[in-house]
Structure 1
Amino acid sequence: MQQSTRTRYALVGTGHRGTTMWGKDIVERWHGEVELVAVCDLNSLRAERSLRYMGASVTIYTDFDEMLRVERPALVIVCTKDSTHDDLIVKAMEAGANVISEKPMTTTAEKIKRILDAERRTGRRLDISFNYRFAPTSARIKELLSSGVIGDVTSVDFHWYLDNSHGADYFRRWHAFTENSGSLFVHKATHHFDLLNWYLDSDPEMVSAFADLKHYGRKGPFRGERCRTCPHKNECDYYFDISAVPLLESLYEDPSGEDGYVRDACVFREDIDIPDTMVTSIRYKNGVHVSYSLNTYMPIEGHHIAFNGHKGRIELRQYEKQPWTEPPADEIVVMRSFEPVERIWVPHSSGGHYGGDDRLRNMLLNKNKPNDELKQRAGSRAGAMSVLCGIAALQSSRSGKPVSISDVWGDDSALGLLERA
């Protein structure tokens, strides 16, 4: 009998992202490249529901060490709570597996060092799921910047908007506590800081930030324990009916009996400790200055970014969700100084994040890797630098003082693992 050449992979964390992006989609569309051999979750009922949705039949484990010992997967995909990533990544690499981790890579400098050291010791590879790099519009911007069309970049204006649905969702879930997520400076902005690092081909050096909880948490007009039992559901703009989303209800409602985690917790809980309104200034090692903001309760979803250079400006306003018809393409405006404006339209591609999800999975899962001229594939160093920028921003917002990346990293050079290749 001919032995399968498919990569044997295990999924740890069977929440929504694991079940869909790294579960059902792969089982149905990348089955010629990889083979799901096990899932692992502390909540066995959630894992059962996840497998049912995937249409897969493999062994469920609640003990990660046992899963590694019995199944010996060649690849482990980590989709658990952010603060747990480091333990799982390190154990998987020490067991001989390569790892794909959902962003952010982890939540603290100490955990970053653990991961980088394990990767060096074991010779295994860690990839971070930075799908925004793979979106067609992001790739086109990278090409334009690399071409030198606006000369050396001197500054960047970058503003991200989460709407009242997506933004509020972070305050319903475990993300609402710094201990779990590192705050949205780490959990969400890791995408944005990574895009900046990749676009500019440089590292952040100094960060100064302001951030507050202005809308959710203790700022709310009333509160309950969760939406399903809340006495204010008829008057709350943020009431979320989980029963209207069958997959979420299946993965979280009955399984909450095992671990107590509910998916529709009140966005106005008084113990929420992450900011919802964030403004940051970043100085890069190559001298570029960045103005960045993240807002989580907007009537629109998407972002605006502009690169200012000696020879002109590149500007994009990308719409993801808004109260008017979404354009079928993204418009990149290239403004060369003293020359006519050029408008470049990049059509939307199918799949999540305008096709970025599919391109990312093709890069990481296909045996014959696509060309990576733009260096879109992101490893542990990219994951580390984006998290360090987020940690510095959170520290600065709390201290009222600028924070350098070296301050966050500390005196320990960690064997030089942050040096650029």
Structure 2
Amino acid sequence: MEKRRFALIGTGNRGTTMWGKELLAGWREHVDLVAIVDTNSLRAERARTMIGSNAPIYENIDAMLAEQQVDLVIVCTPDYTHDEIVVRALEAGIDVITEKPMTTAVDKIRRILDAEKRTGKRVDVSFNYRYSPTAAKIKELLNAGEIGRVTSVDFHWYLDTKHGADYFRRWHAYTENSGSLFVHKATHHFDLLNWYLDSDPDAVTSFADLQNYGRKGPFRGPRCKLCPHTGECDYFLDLEADPFLDSLYEDPSKIDGYFRDGCVYREDIDIPDTMVVSIRYKNDVHVSYSLNTFQPIEGHHIAFNGTHGRIELRQYEKQPWETPDQDTILLVRNFPKGKDTVERIVVPHSPGGHYGGDDRMRNMIFKQGMEDKLGQRAGTRAGAMSVLCGIAALSSSRSGKVVKISDLMPEIVTGGAPASLKAG
């Protein structure tokens, strides 16, 4: 079997691990890393060593394309740059995998969709949460009609003080870079909803605020390493205590000025850290969603309310107490008719990122003949719909108005099937 020759674009944490070292370790018979591209050459060199590759390094995609024959580009750069790289690769006749979110703005969505249609090449969006064993089981239960017609969903996501704060240390803390966490982080969650419900979001209303980070902080400094408040700051990050982050970011910061330990209390941070959203779907499902970024726990709670019952999950990813290495889905029936009123469905965690979801996604993309019974493989329309939901939520939170997806991008609403049915 011929290997797919791929170029890795962007050598941050995700590119170096998920799409670098881990991909080569588990899928080497399917792929060959032939080029690494990053505007920071020192970071690229450090990443190449961590990956265990001898691929040549380039500072831009055009220089790489001039010298290398590649079948696939994997995009792991900051969100606002995705569209330029994706479109350039498509126009060069190359398939693309892009990290989520696919992009950050409506005009950028249009560029990607137009380029994919024009070139006939394929874009995969890295929605690995679809592939986690528990998410797959919930999708199976919904598809089987176990709770009848779904009428509403309660969905609440919690980031702990380590993970949540990280978004406010880095480039994500500015709307122009990430589209806010409504786009960068919640794109996962909105995509899950679109996929679970097999429908498109129709109208969105939201409230959001900066409650803890940024200007709400009691003090601030230039960065953690140079801050006079390290002894009293709950969010102090000691880069030297993390050899991986220190190697990948500290010395390379001398080239581009990007510090991995930016102050979470910077006064110019302009994204919210506390968010609530209401969504009405095309199939009349109503959703209540929230995202909080400074909790003592990490994980989520989701409940599907249907005409015949309820499916509920409380998944802990990190918490200050022991939990079993498994998830328990509660299936509660209104009208048992000979079945158990309450059924507890235990789903063991699998090894690897996202409880095995990362590995399952890479299998689906790279191994031939994989059957996609649940429509897990996500393409540009799925990527677009999740981003549009985030854009609508941010817009609503700032304007106080209900935002219709059709007002943001009419052509995608009239373009046919729901995101899950046109995932590829």
Give the CA deviation at 1:32: 0.4
Counting only pairs closer than 5 Å after superposition, residues 208-357 of structure 1 correspond to structure 2 as 208-339=205-336, 340-357=341-358
CA displacement 1:41-88 (0-9 Å, x = unmatched): 000000000000111001100021111121121000000000000000
Give the CA deviation at 1:5: 1.1
SS in 1 for 2:229: coil
CA–CA distance in structure 2, aligned partners of residues 316 and 39 of structure 1? 40
Give the counterpart of 2:115 among 114, 118, 132: 118
SS in 2 for 1:151: coil
In structure 2, do the counterparts of structure 1 residues 289 and 396 end up closer, same or farther at CA, with 3 Å as the change threshold? Answer: same
CA contact (8 A) 2:311 2:332 kept: yes
CA–CA distance in structure 2, aligned partners of residues 32 and 95 of structure 1? 25
Give the counterpart of 1:74 among 71, 88, 103: 71
CA displacement 1:216-262 (0-9 Å, x = unmatched): 00000110011111000000000011111111111100000000000
CA–CA distance in structure 1, aligned partners of residues 417 and 142 of structure 2? 24
Give the CA deviation at 1:327: 1.8
CA–CA distance in structure 2, aligned partners of residues 69 and 208 of structure 1? 46
Residue identity matched to 1:74 = D
Counting only pairs closer than 5 Å after superposition, residues 37-76 of structure 1 correspond to structure 2 as 37-76=34-73
Give the CA deviation at 1:414: 7.1
CA contact (8 A) 2:405 2:413 kept: no
CA displacement 1:347-375 (0-9 Å, x = unmatched): 00000000000001111122x24210000
In structure 2, do the counterparts of structure 1 residues 417 and 250 end up closer, same or farther at CA, with 3 Å as the change threshold? Answer: farther
Identity of aligned residues (%): 67
Give 2:96's aligned residue.
Answer: 99
CA displacement 1:157-198 (0-9 Å, x = unmatched): 000000000000000000000000000000000000000000
In structure 2, do the counterparts of structure 1 residues 118 and 416 end up closer, same or farther at CA, with 3 Å as the change threshold? Answer: farther
Give the counterpart of 1:154 among 131, 151, 154: 151
SS in 2 for 1:138: helix
CA–CA distance in structure 2, aligned partners of residues 214 and 45 of structure 1? 36
Q: What's the TM-score once normalised by structure 2's chain length?
A: 0.96
CA–CA distance in structure 2, aligned partners of residues 89 and 161 of structure 1? 31
In structure 2, do the counterparts of structure 1 residues 223 and 418 end up closer, same or farther at CA, with 3 Å as the change threshold? Answer: farther
CA contact (8 A) 1:215 1:276 kept: yes
Give the CA deviation at 1:409: 1.4
Could you list the structure 1 runs, at least 4 aligned residues long, displaced by more than 4 angstroms after superposition.
414-421
Give 1:387's aligned residue.
Answer: 387
Counting only pairs closer than 5 Å after superposition, residues 102-181 of structure 1 correspond to structure 2 as 102-181=99-178
Residue identity matched to 2:11 = T
CA contact (8 A) 1:116 1:417 kept: no
Q: What's the TM-score once normalised by structure 1's chain length?
A: 0.97
Give the CA deviation at 1:26: 1.3
CA–CA distance in structure 2, aligned partners of residues 292 and 28 of structure 1? 37
